[in-house]
Structure 1
């Protein structure tokens, strides 16, 4: 499916990114395996995880090169693009998977915890897209696969920084699809359910939360890779969509559209909004749900 194509996969030293890199290589892609090698909170650096994935790919007969850059730094994103061009003479696919978590209830959230998560997730996606956009335009082809989360799409406790970043990625991904469609460049989002180091850091204080974590442990990162590779296939025309994967289930997620309207020919006052508009629309208000409330059934 991907013979002759080159992919950059960020956060590919472990978990979801690792399985994507391995599967893309198994389908013929050259892979730049990026991973800073930090902790789940983004601290420290270790070149071992990225290099181990490269070694696995090469042992299986594939082609890969390790990269240890930080997606939050524009110069590191540019270096990844240059490494792909220098090593494999091209770039066709960017998988924006790198991420960190610094969860805390909002009234305790620090500016540093906010900024660090936004920097890796949202700014990191921007940096990677910006680094390759001109090349994608020149060659009139390219593919962005961006990772969002149901924590942003639906909601979750203690993840305001992460949820905001992941919803920002949805907007960025759609803008990339719109702005670059004329150059035959596609962009899609994936919200994964899979056990990872990051998921393991989420507090589970109630029995229901502990049970949900146990269910997630059965959802291996390898389940995410097939959709990612399929979206990267140059014969695929899908763009501007949001998908969710949970074990063997693939969901197409909704995107905001008007669902109800109210109108007064004389216009609105605060009082008529309160007494007419809001009650008229309230039957279609969304409840204050979390991801686990919406995806409440056991995965299949």
Structure 2
């Protein structure tokens, strides 16, 4: 049996917002497996235990670039330490230049991007110089390049904290903008069910089975109940299955909207600044106490 430490309990609590004792029980039942413990809490507490999946904690912005013909575009997340720096003109200009480089030079990954020439030097050298000038660490976290089948539209929200690109085939620019706004609001994981990772689907199935068992459902019904839960999950997390944010009847899905407009979405990209990054929270009281203890010991 793995030892369950206070730090493990605190980590699970931060991820799920579940009560401390429930976190400890779940970790004990899962023999210290953090992922399994999250599943156990979801069974007991419902979706409240997965709220941290969309928690945004790091600072920075999402930058975009779209070519004049709408056929080439990019999305990039550049991080910094504070929101103040995220509004700095030099930081904004750096992000804009990097976004254009990604679209025009098509680097394979962040390492290749950092090696590209920029302002008579390299992207990484310019980044390092900016760190020295601003006084904060800066990093390029991720990017996505889109070579469009149709036309690309972008939507930036919340002070560039959320960025979306949509490659729309057919339809009008206003439709592409509406769909991009919808994506920013509802954050689909993929275009359709084929793009949802199998492990996420399996987690939903296991949770549904355990909930059905705990509710005392007949054994013969459990698989059917689980399949229904999986299908509902897929509608909730796929763009085509989601109900359009501006649907007048509250029922029209994105798939139905596109069909009505004789259009289709070839692909989309969505970045939320800091998604999945745990931001360090300083406990100033603990720091002061620690410093006082050190000073006392040194006397």
Bigger proportion of residues as strand: 2
Larger radius of gyration: 2
Of structures 1 and 2, the one scoring higher in RCO (CA 8 A, sep 6+) is 2
Same fold (TM over 0.5): no
Instruction: Calculate the TM-score normalised by the size of structure 1.
Output: 0.30
- TM-score normalized with structure 2 length: 0.30
